[in-house]
A = this chain, B = another copy of it.
Amino acid sequence: MAPTLKTNTLAAGQLAAALLALRARTPLVHCLTNTVVAGLTANVLLAAGAAPAMTDNAAEAAGFAARAGAVLVNLGTPYADTTQAMSCAIIGAQDAGVPWVLDPVGGGALPWRTALARAWLADGRPAIVRGNASEILGLAGGAGGKGVDSTAAADDALTAAVELARRQRCVVAVSGAVDLITDGARLARMGNGSPLLTRVSGTGCALGALMAALAAVEPDALVAASAATALLTVAAERAAQHSAGPGSFAVALIDALYALQPEALAASTRFV
């Protein structure tokens, strides 16, 4: 499969331009996400330059999604009523042409939510699906991990990611020490980051939210997902330099997202 993919054809300047557009437009990002990371997600979006709003009840989700710049659907802590709101938001987004991002947390490992995610993919077309290797493998039919953390390396999920991207005509992002982002024809392999990202709860979920924020301002979803990945992982490298552990790292990460300028992003992004 790999030979048929055009690899690392994006220019860092495209990512910088997407960040510039984010800062200029402050898109409303409608997040239906889990209760563990909602606060971090909102703060990451605010620091990066987006306007987050978490409206995850069924009475309001469809109408709100239609007016948003982008929608995030994250399956970290699904409940009966919030999953109904997610279904409404997806319909509202699609009908209005608003891009939406699916983060199938626990996909594969947990049957109920995996079935929910597959049903949404059967009926709809997200701009981006983001997960770790276990989740992407699980969503595509593999066994999944032991919980919400990845037990597979990103490269293990490449074939599944490409097939999913081609079937759904969307971008699939596999997060890990190396980040893989593909639309089925192109592949970005990105190598920034810090091991401390795995010691702070919700950094993967926040990455999904950043992908939604970038998809609100950048029509090429491969560029949007890659720019979001570069933004979080380059900020993480800077934050790690000022951290004594995961507590101070999480604080410095927000500061670094706020401070990171498009030119610096372009200069630091590594395709590998």
Contact = CB atoms under 8 A, between A and B. Distances in A.
Interface stretch (A45-53, A135-143, A168-176, A224-232): A45-53
Nearest to A115: B59
Contact of A40 (B35, B39, B199): B39
A202 interface: yes
B259 A254 contact: no
A205 to B, nearest CB: 11
A7 interface: no
A127 to B, nearest CB: 20
Given A54-B34, A77-B56, A113-B60, A245 B250 contact: no
A271 interface: no
A243 B78 CA distance: 36
Contacts of A146: 28, 51, 67
A194 interface: no
Interface residues of A, number: 62
Interface string A128-153: 00000000000000000011110000
B245 A106 contact: no
A201 interface: yes
Interface in A6-62: 28, 34-40, 42-43, 46-47, 51-57, 59-60
Interface of A: 28, 34-40, 42-43, 46-47, 51-57, 59-60, 63-64, 67-68, 76-82, 106, 110-113, 146-149, 198-202, 243-248, 250-259
